[in-house]
Structure 1
Amino acid sequence: MTSDQTIPSAVSWFEMPADDLDRAAGFYRSVFGWRTPPMGADGAYALTVAADEHGNPTEVGGINGGLHRRTDPADAGPVVNIHVADVDAVLQQVVAAGGQVVRPRTEVPEFGLSMALFADTEGNVLGVYRSGGAED
């Protein structure tokens, strides 16, 4: 499955904060056998199951993720990310349904993504993203 074939509204990525990236990457390698290649310029790691050249899982049920350096005490736990066709439209739906935008759409040109964070009606923080870069 290439990034162009990602199913919209599917949970397809998770992120976890870490105080010590090397220690955390070693933990997940040791316990689960996950690959932990470096990702990005800030020393982050990917957490991957079997994946194609685009980083998409090649095994049914596989969801890739990443470790990033915790920079804010509020960055307390894992975030599940949902692939969507239009980040702004989803954020409007979140607000209309009683949720709130935690971080508005942000462009991540290094990875060709648009992403945002929202809180649901129960205070759970999740992410939405669109691969393929900036939206109009």
Structure 2
Amino acid sequence: MSDFFNPRHRDRTYAPDDNLGREQPDMRQTNKVSWFEMPADDLGRASSFYSNVFGWRTPPMGTEGAYALTTAADDSGNPTEVGAINGGIHRRANEADAGPVVNISVDDIDATLERIVAAGGRIIQPRSEVEEFGLSMALFADTEGNVLGIYTSGGA
């Protein structure tokens, strides 16, 4: 699992949105897609591509030389628009690291892994601790073979 993106900003609630007249949702809400990861063989090339095509900021992030991918964001890379999520590009680790992964926040990672298996999914990467960001994470495949990530902050 890459360590390129720090979801600790999910502890914040965002300022009122002028278009909706209400505060944006707390990004720590569970069972929500929180960020995405995309593997790349050439990080600079991938960074340039997304910057040139979509105008995304792609600053280096984390200890692995990865890049963040941000849409409308503050100086810390936190989304500033309702519905926006950010993500990152990390160096492809192996052939199994084939495509993008969306990451979903959960309350209890172990209970969620049990429900995944009971529903016909399978665990790709068991729970692991990402101490740099204070997270527990796991990867799973759904019944259709799609790989997704789940995480929880604070060791739950």
Q: Point out where structure 2 has 5 or more consecutive residues left out of the alignment.
A: 1-8, 12-25
Identify the residue that residue 145 of structure 2 maps to in structure 1: 123
Letter in 2 for 1:19: D
Q: Distance in 2 between matches of 1:123 and 1:95?
A: 13
Identify the residue that residue 3 of structure 1 maps to in structure 2: 10
Letter in 1 for 2:155: A
Q: Distance in 1 between matches of 2:33 and 2:74?
A: 18
Give the TM-score normalised by structure 2.
0.80
Identify the residue that residue 35 of structure 1 maps to in structure 2: 57
Q: Point out where structure 1 has 5 or more consecutive residues left out of the alignment.
A: none
Which aligned pairs between 1:53-132 and structure 2 lie closer than 5 A? 55-131=77-153
Q: How far has the Cα of 1:120 moved from its partner?
A: 0.6
Identify the residue that residue 18 of structure 2 maps to in structure 1: none
Q: How far has the Cα of 1:41 moved from its partner?
A: 1.1
Q: How far has the Cα of 1:97 moved from its partner?
A: 0.6
Paired positions, count = 133
Bigger Rg, which one: 2
CA shift in 2, pair 1:130/1:117, >3 Å: same
Letter in 1 for 2:130: V
Q: How far has the Cα of 1:52 moved from its partner?
A: 4.4
